[in-house]
């Protein structure tokens, strides 16, 4: 695809895109390894596929974007968001897993019928039968805490229930990149390039359908009445503005040396800057930070800086109150603060708390707070960016033919050594283990046709940890131990050269509990557990009890140590008083 110069910089303003740019945009979706793939339609989209082009899109208020469901009324949508199915899908979404339906969720619940709380799944329709429990706040908190723990356990079991034969490649989404931007293909760009829009411009619901949101901004919304707020504070400098989404007409304007045409087109309905002396020159950091780090200084300069800090906070508070009518109608509020204390000036403010869901940070580095910097930052936010597409995280192919040598200052001393395929496999597998990348580990084993009990190479280096299970146990990788045994069926009975199994290398109690939990799940007939040296099987409830006992014992020991120390202090103080008393009596 050859790049065509059919657009100018002014055509890329996201609230006023030119027709050829807007029509050329196509959302890019990625798999878990950042390869560009076709989007997967949701269940709702598939059901409405035929009528989607002829009917008006369903209002977002009637949709659950997390579960991919559409409801007839707003009340039913609200009831759905209180169900455990919705909560469970939210937890899945946080782990980059696709949502499941009601039937699949019920199957998961049925599979855990023998566990506590499996029959206590919250249902909004049953709230009337639980009024006596809802009247007691402490019991209600405990109920929801146990319910949340049950869903967490359910999700953990499902996440770890992966096998080498599973061909799932992870969730497909346009949000799989770690970039602050969402990427769009365009016929106006080369294949290697894309247009990027900052995610911070979208609400949570709009992020699910970004291209539809951009089209609504350009067709269905009057931008002349739409505003956003920009605030920057740092080093005693403050700059704030209310910016209109409607640009000014700058046709015929002369280009200024310190301001682009795009910055000239920015319309500030309100703007304000002020400065207070709060930072000592060439020292850095506010006076309050210095007081916390080195103690309160007693000087005229430090007193002045403390006064100015308080005055700066008051100035900002008064300004926010003055701009409250604008803030109430803002689409976004972008905030930049150099430290948590300056940020709290905004987050603790009454006007900002009313719209806290709209408060976002600038997704890029900004300069000193000035009006010019506010304009530059707004242009950076509100214009499409031509960027290179993210590079795929492809699994490395072992290159047996190439010679990978150890670098040496004196090449005559030792000849270069060729690395074997087994050593290359070992390097890749251990990287996945250390970073707890279970899906990539499974994909690598399946693609290379490797056994889960693959022997790490070179043998001389991994004599203590010959298998991945040995390595994970020694390094304290509890989750990977669970996946290797329970799901990938790694052999726990394999011994190293010193007769040690993976269990023998486990140092922490959490890792040992993972082995015992796997033994409980797999059953006593799975293997000869005596050869694995693994202790008696433990259920999750047994582990919870042991962990609670451990915490109680640690707390008891801490309390006793504090008590002993207090007694020692009292005895020392008593001895000092007696010594002083004898001194004065003798004198």
Burial 352-381 (b: 16+ CB within 10 A, else e): beeeeebbbebeeebeebebebbbbbbbeb
Strand partners, 228: 243
Question: Are residues 34 and 223 in contact, defined by beta-carbon separation less than 8 angstroms?
Answer: no
Distance between CA 529 and CA 336 in Å, rounded? 58
**Which residues 6+ apart lie within 8 Å of 321 measured at CB?**
351
337: tokens are 């603060």
**CB–CB of 298/305 below 8 Å?**
no
Q: Which of 382, 497, 274 is nearest to 10 (CA)?
A: 382
| Cβ-based burial of 429 (10 A; exposed 0-12, middle 13-18, buried ≥19) | buried
Q: Is 488 exposed, middle or buried (0-12, 13-18, 19+ CB in 10 A)?
A: buried
CA-CA distance, 508 to 465, in Å (whole number)? 17
Q: Provide the angle, in degrees to the nearest 10, between the axes of the packed helices 137-160 and 84-94.
A: 50
Phi, psi of 557 (to 5 degrees): -65, -40
DSSP secondary structure of 381-403: HHB-EEEEPPPP-PPPPP-SSS-
Query: What is the rounded distance in angstroms from the CA atom of residue 263 to the CA atom of residue 261?
Result: 5
Residues forming beta bridges with residue 37, ordered by sequence position? 29
Here the tokens at position 58 are 């369903």
Q: Residue 187 has which token pair?
A: 């016929």
The pair of structure tokens assigned to 422 is 């087994």
How far is Cα 336 from Cα 343, in angstroms, rounded to an integer? 8
Question: Is residue 228 within 8 Å of 332, Cβ to Cβ?
Answer: yes
Q: Which of 206, 262, 283, 287 is catalytic?
A: 287
Residue 371's φ and ψ, nearest 5 degrees, are: -65, -40
Q: Nearest CA to 89 among 101, 72, 77?
A: 101
Alpha helices, DSSP H, located in 125-253: 131-134, 137-160, 204-208, 210-219
Other beta carbons within 10 angstroms of residue 452's beta carbon come to 21
CA distance 281 to 236: 12
The reply to whether 287 belongs to the active site is: yes
Query: Residue 241's beta-bridge partner residues?
Result: 230, 271
Contact by Cβ (8 Å): 176, 35? no
State the catalytic residues. Answer: 287
């Amino acid at each position: 695809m050859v790049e065509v110069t059919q657009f100018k910089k002014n055509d890329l303003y996201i609230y006023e895109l030119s027709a050829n740019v807007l029509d050329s945009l196509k959302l890019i979706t990625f798999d878990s390894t950042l390869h560009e793939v076709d989007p997967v339609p949701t269940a709702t989209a598939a059901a409405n596929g035929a009528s989607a082009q002829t009917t008006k899109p369903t209002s977002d208020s009637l949709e659950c974007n997390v579960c991919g469901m559409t409801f007839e009324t707003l009340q039913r949508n609200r009831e759905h968001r209180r169900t455990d199915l919705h909560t469970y899908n939210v937890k899945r979404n946080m782990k980059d897993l696709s949502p499941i339906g009601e039937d699949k969720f019920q199957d998961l619940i049925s599979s855990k019928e023998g566990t506590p709380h499996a029959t206590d799944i919250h249902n909004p329709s049953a709230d009337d039968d639980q009024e006596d429990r809802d009247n007691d706040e402490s019991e209600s908190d405990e109920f929801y805490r146990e319910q949340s723990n049950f869903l967490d356990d359910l999700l953990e079991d499902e996440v770890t229930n992966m096998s080498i034969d599973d061909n799932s490649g992870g969730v497909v989404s346009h949000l799989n990149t770690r970039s602050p931007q969402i990427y769009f293909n365009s016929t106006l760009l080369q294949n290697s390039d894309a247009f990027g829009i900052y995610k911070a411009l979208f609400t949570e619901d709009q992020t699910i359908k970004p291209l539809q949101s951009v089209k609504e901004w350009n067709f269905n919304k009057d931008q002349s009445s739409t505003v956003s707020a920009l605030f920057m504070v740092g080093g005693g400098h403050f700059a704030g503005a209310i910016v209109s989404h409607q640009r000014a007409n700058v046709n015929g304007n002369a280009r200024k040396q310190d301001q682009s045409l795009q910055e000239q087109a920015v319309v500030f309905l309100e703007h304000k800057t002020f400065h207070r002396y709060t930072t000592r020159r060439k020292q850095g950091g506010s006076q309050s930070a210095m007081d916390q780090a080195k103690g309160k200084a007693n000087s005229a300069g430090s007193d002045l800086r403390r006064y100015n800090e308080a005055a700066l906070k008051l100035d900002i508070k008064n300004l926010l109150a003055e701009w409250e009518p604008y803030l109430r109608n803002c689409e976004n509020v972008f905030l930049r603060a150099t430290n948590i204390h300056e940020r709290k000036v905004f987050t603790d403010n009454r006007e900002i708390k009313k719209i806290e869901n709209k408060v976002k940070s600038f997704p890029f580095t900004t300069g000193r707070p000035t009006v010019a910097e506010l304009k530059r930052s707004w242009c950076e936010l509100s214009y499409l960016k031509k960027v290179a597409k993210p590079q795929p995280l492809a699994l490395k192919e072992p290159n047996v033919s190439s010679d990978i040598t150890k670098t040496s200052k004196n090449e005559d001393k030792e000849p270069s050594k060729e690395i074997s395929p087994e050593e290359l496999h070992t390097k890749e597998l251990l990287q996945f283990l250390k970073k707890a990348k279970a899906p990539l580990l499974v994909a690598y084993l399946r693609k290379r046709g490797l056994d889960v009990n693959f022997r790490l190479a070179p043998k001389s280096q991994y004599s203590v940890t010959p298998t991945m299970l040995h390595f994970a146990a020694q390094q304290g990788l509890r989750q990977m131990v669970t996946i290797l045994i329970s799901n990938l069926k790694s052999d726990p009975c394999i011994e190293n050269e010193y007769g040690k199994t993976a269990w023998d290398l486990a140092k922490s109690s959490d890792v040992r509990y993972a082995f015992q939990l796997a033994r409980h799940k797999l059953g006593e007939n799975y293997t000869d557990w005596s050869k694995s040296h693994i202790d008696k099987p433990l259920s999750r409830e047994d582990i919870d009890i042991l962990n609670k006992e451990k915490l109680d014992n640690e707390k008891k020991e801490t309390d006793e140590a504090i008590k002993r120390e207090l007694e020692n202090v009292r005895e020392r103080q008593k001895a000092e008083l007696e010594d002083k008393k004898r001194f004065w009596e003798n004198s």
